[in-house]
């Protein structure tokens, strides 16, 4: 139902996203997208690039008078830093002779693998697109997806649960309050004591010329039962969510619900018992499954977590090998962050929102938002009547 492509390099003129499948009549303004773009740029441990870029979106197609037309949306985010990179990132072959060539790949980055795959001798041809700067475009796409979900009362929120081995504790905290506290924190963490320790870990990494990663969690609620399907591998929503999250730069692991903990417990400690109440329908008192069973939403909140590795650009670089001479060489030092986990939580929101919106439109599809609403309300009435 929904699909998108992004284009653009980290230090090029800008980033572009094309989104197809947005229902006609959806209320959509640049301000809604800009809000999430601004959230992505915040966070303790971010580098100097965030002081340069103030991301805002230009909607150049697909919207008229504040509402989607049903045709593809075209979104552009300009790179302010492009002014300083016009020679290095020039379109003209005439500037190639004066550009600085990068030949010392960073361990943990796409530098070497990308150069080998595409036959590049200048690693900048890889690192510019592999950069997490690309996630600004995905956050813009996710903001559109969130707008679709909000039209049906579904909220998607992300926050940090662990950073550099420091784990936050907020058991029993209602989701609204958890999210409110997270939004008020520059580490997107709802636990003040854990936040203090996390800040110390970031400071320690900065002193060492190092980086630090962690884990964020994304929750979506309320989600109707029946999104996704068990009938084919590529229609399972848990698989689609995992793929989307794993595609984010620096993400190395994904959990849904209890995640890997299910492998350490008895079945009686894992599975969510089923209850029924007239007018409410089927429900659970626990949510170990994270809102998904058999690749299908079961009506409980979607709960997913993703693990982000420490960023691969170190101010005290690891050893590498020069791509051309094959001589030992310190890895490339590119401007970067000490920690971008709070920003990754916002990118995670976008990834989850897009897959949920796609599954939602797949289930309740229509060419206009009002047609989707009629289908959705009819289905909800049928579910409550079971």
Residue 334, pLDDT > 90, answer no
Nearest alpha carbon to residue 372 among 219, 155, 149, 146? 149
Q: In the 8-state DSSP scheme, what is residue 23? A: P
pLDDT, tens digit, 9 for 90 and up, residues 247-279? 999 999 999 999 999 999 999 999 999 999 888
Q: Of all residues in the chain, what percent carry a pLDDT higher than 90?
A: 89
pLDDT, tens digit, 9 for 90 and up, residues 191-206? 999 999 999 999 999 9
Q: Of all residues in the chain, what percent carry a pLDDT higher than 70?
A: 98
Asked if residues 257 and 217 have their Cβ atoms less than 8 Å apart, the reply is no
pLDDT at 52: 64
Model confidence, pTM: 0.95
Other beta carbons within 10 angstroms of residue 353's beta carbon come to 29
- Is 18 in a helix, a strand, or coil? strand
Q: In the 8-state DSSP scheme, what is residue 24? A: B
pLDDT at 114: 97
Q: Mean pLDDT across the stretch 165-179?
A: 92
Asked if residues 317 and 106 have their Cβ atoms less than 8 Å apart, the reply is yes
Asked if residues 369 and 361 have their Cβ atoms less than 8 Å apart, the reply is no
Nearest alpha carbon to residue 187 among 19, 35, 42, 82? 42
Nearest alpha carbon to residue 166 among 190, 185, 186, 193? 193
Domain residue limits, the chain: 3-385
pLDDT at 281: 86
Calpha distance 187→198 (Å, rounded): 8
pLDDT at 335: 77
Calpha distance 208→316 (Å, rounded): 7
Asked if residues 382 and 225 have their Cβ atoms less than 8 Å apart, the reply is no
State yes or no: cis peptide before 2, omega within 30 of 0.
no
pLDDT, tens digit, 9 for 90 and up, residues 27-86? 999 999 999 999 999 999 887 655 666 899 999 999 999 999 999 999 999 999 899 999
Q: What angle do CA 152, 156, 159 make, to 5 degrees?
A: 165
Calpha distance 99→55 (Å, rounded): 27
Residue 344, pLDDT > 80, answer yes
Q: Does domain 3-385 have CATH number 3.40.1440.10?
A: no
In sequence order, which residues have a C-beta less than 8 Å from that of residue 258 and are 6 or more positions away? 265, 270, 288, 289, 290
């Amino acid at each position: 139902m929904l699909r998108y492509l992004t284009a653009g390099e980290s230090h090029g003129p800008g980033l572009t996203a094309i989104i197809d499948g947005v229902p006609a009549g959806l209320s959509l303004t640049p301000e809604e997208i800009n809000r999430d773009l601004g959230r992505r740029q915040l966070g303790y441990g971010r580098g100097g690039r965030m002081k340069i870029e103030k991301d805002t979106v230009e909607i150049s197609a697909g919207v008229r008078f504040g509402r989607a037309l049903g045709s593809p949306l075209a979104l552009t985010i300009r790179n302010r830093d492009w002014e300083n990179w016009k020679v290095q990132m020039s379109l003209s072959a005439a500037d190639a002779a004066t550009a600085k060539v990068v030949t010392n790949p960073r361990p943990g980055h796409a530098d070497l693998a990308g150069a080998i795959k595409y036959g590049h001798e200048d690693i900048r041809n890889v690192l510019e697109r592999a950069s997490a700067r690309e996630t600004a475009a995905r956050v813009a796409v996710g903001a559109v997806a969130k707008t679709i979900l909000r039209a049906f009362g579904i909220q998607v929120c992300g926050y940090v649960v662990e950073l550099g081995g420091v784990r936050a504790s907020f058991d029993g905290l209602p989701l609204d309050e958890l999210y409110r506290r997270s939004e008020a924190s520059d580490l997107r963490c709802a636990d003040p004591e854990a936040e203090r320790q996390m800040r110390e870990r970031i400071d320690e990494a900065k002193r060492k010329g190092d980086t630090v990663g962690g884990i964020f969690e994304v929750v979506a609620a309320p989600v109707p039962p029946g999104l996704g399907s068990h009938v084919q591998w590529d229609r399972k929503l848990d698989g689609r969510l995992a793929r989307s999250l794993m595609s984010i730069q620096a993400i190395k692991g994904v959990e849904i619900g209890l995640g890997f903990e299910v492998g350490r417990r008895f079945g009686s400690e894992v599975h969510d018992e089923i209850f029924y109440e007239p007018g409410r329908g089927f429900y659970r008192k626990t949510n170990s499954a994270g809102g998904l069973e058999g690749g299908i939403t079961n009506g409980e909140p979607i709960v997913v977590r993703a693990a982000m590795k420490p960023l691969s650009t170190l101010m005290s670089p690891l050893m590498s090998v020069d791509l051309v001479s094959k001589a030992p060489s310190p890895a490339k030092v590119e401007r970067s962050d000490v920690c971008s986990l709070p920003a990754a939580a916002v990118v995670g929101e976008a990834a989850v929102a897009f897959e949920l919106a796609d599954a939602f439109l797949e289930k309740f599809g229509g060419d206009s938002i009002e047609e989707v609403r009629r289908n959705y309300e009819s289905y909800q009435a049928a579910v409550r009547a079971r």
